Structures are given as structure tokens and as C-alpha cells.
Amino acid sequence: MPLLAADSGWQPLPSLPDAEGFAGAFAGVANGVLLVAGGTNFPDKKPWEGGTKVWYDTVYALREPMGKWEKVGKLPKPNGYGVSLTTESGWICIGGGDATRHFRDVIRFRLRDNQLLTENLPALPQACAFMAGAQLGSVIYVIGGIETPAATTALASFWSLDLAELKDGWKSLPACPGKARILPTMGAADGSVFVFSGAALKPEPDGKAAREWLKDAWRYTPEIGWRRMVDLPRVSVAAPSPAPIRDGRLLLIGGDDGVLANFEPKDKHPGFPRSVLAYDWQSDVWARVGEVPFSLVTTPLVEWRGSLVIPGGEARPGKRSPEVWRR
């Protein structure tokens, strides 16, 4: 499935049934059904107009590619900016948070007929949101993020949970030698998990967090530990995650490069980069392999019925999108 600029192959699926759409939503597959849940938007005014961000708990389901989205349940509470992974044993949502707190919850969802079934898995060692995750074999990994909404430094944590040995709970693994970060992208291939880009945080005099845009890449192999790989061609923060594999390479689709972080006027922001980066882990080489017809960050990537699916996300700062794309 090559990604060529002349023939990107991306096609729209039915849009999410919300006029604004969501950023930071959870998404995955359970019993063959595509699910999207939670997330945030600004339903009235944009943030620079004094608008208030709202968190959601609705779970939407799409049973067929050209079907209609339907409501099938709710998350235990409004939630966004966690990690969601589709596994053989169900769709797993990890951490996340709302306006006042972040969560330790790890929940596995299954869909039976039209009923959403939930199962609590071992909780994270710390509350966490804005992190990344990936699955390698029966083990899921989570890295980075922040513990509270007001945090000005990122967590250096790196945790694993073996779904085949849930009684052992989460394990704390050696931290990545790179800077602690939020919103990296993770992927799994060749017996390793990979961590790409993200942003480090540092406190500003006003008490808020400033971002340091990162383009480093790291590989963790359970038997070996961490190794630094070649840097990305550009920064790619909050790209759809986990990174999928196509043509023997891990793909980073878009992501915020930080170049327009201070763009004014904010309502004219042109959106985030649309280029696709492909990483060949055998040769440790990056390549640009075309562009996508959308600008979406802070959103999961889901593999459904042999296709890559990107359900909504942030189209530009403060602006969400209900569009759903597949390839």
C-alpha cells in the first residue's frame, strides 16, 4: 500500500455526528465495529475568544464503512487525550483526563449486540494524559505525558502491562534517555517499540508550560534496552498514533511541526503539515512518501477492515473536525 503524492488513496468515511468534531478522542475496534469516544471541542467560542473547552463521554459506533454512526454507550466519565489500543481481547482505553484532573483508569471495552461491556484493568502507576502507547505481542507500552492539567514538566515514565499476565500489573521500565515528552508517536515493529518526536515542557515565568519541539527517535527492545535512532526530517508532534506499518516501514502521518505555533491571526491558521514520513527500521532511514488530504492531529489511528482510519482530530489550533478518513 504505497503512499504516493499522485494517488494518496485516502477516502472519507461518514463524518462523526457532531458539528464540531473532537480532538483527543479515543478510538478502536471491538467485535469488528469501529468505535470513537470522548474527546474535546469548543462548542461556542474559540479559545482566543474566551471559549471554554468541553469534555465528552459519548461512545459512537460505525458498523459498516458506509453506514451511519450510532450512540452505543458512554465512557465512565468525560475523558480525552489518553491512549487507545485495539487488541485481540478488546479495545483498551488508557488514562486521559478532563479540565481539572488526569486519570489512572485502564478500561477494556467489548461490544455485544448493541451493548458496550466494560472491564477495569490494572490502573496506571500515575495519572497520565497526553502520552503515547503501542502494543508489542501481548505487552502494551505507555510513555510520557503529564500527570495533571497544570503540569509544566512531562513525565519521564515508561510503563508496560502484559495482557497475558494482568495479575502482575504495570511495570516501570528504564526511562528513555531522551527528554521527557508529551504527544510523541509510538509504533511497534521488529521486536521493538519506537518513540518518535513529541514536545518537552518547561515552566514559564507566568506559570504556564512552554514547549520544546523534538525530532529525535528512539528504539526500545526488551532484551537490549534503549537505542537512539536517526532524527526525523522534521518535528511531528501529536501525529495520529500508534504509527502503522505499510511496505515494511512505520508511518508518521502529518503532525504539528511547531513552525506556526505563534501564527496570527489565529482564526486564519492554515493547518498542520500534511506530509507523510516513512521510517525504515532495517536501514534506520526516513523518507517523505507523499501527503494526505487532511490536517488532523491529537487523534488516534485505527486499523479497521484492512484500512487505516483517522477519526476526526484537531484541524488547526482550537478547531476540531468531524471528518473521518480511511485508506
Give pLDDT tens digits for 259-302: 999 999 998 999 999 999 999 999 999 999 999 999 999 999 99
Contacts of 227 (CB under 8 A, 6+ apart): 218, 219, 220, 221
pLDDT of amino acid 8: 67
Rounded CA separation 213/36 (Å): 28
Which DSSP string do the residues of 52-73 spell out, in sequence order?
--EE--EEEEE-STTS--EEEE
Other Cβ atoms closer than 10 A to 214: 24
pLDDT of amino acid 2: 43
Task: Look at residues 30, 16, 148, 169 and name the one whose alpha carbon lies nearest to residue 81.
Answer: 148
pLDDT of amino acid 113: 82
Low-confidence ranges of the chain (pLDDT < 50): 1-7
pTM given for the model: 0.95
Position of cell 528513555? 176
Please, what are the domains in the chain? 11-326 (2.120.10.80)
Contacts of 109 (CB under 8 A, 6+ apart): 28, 30, 35, 59, 90, 91, 92, 93, 116, 117, 118, 119
pLDDT of amino acid 3: 45
Q: 226: which 3 cell numbers? A: 534503549
Measure CA of the first residue to CA of the last residue in the chain; give whole Å: 9
Which DSSP string do the residues of 189-220 spell out, in sequence order?
ETTEEEEE--EEEEE-TTSPEEEEE---EEEE
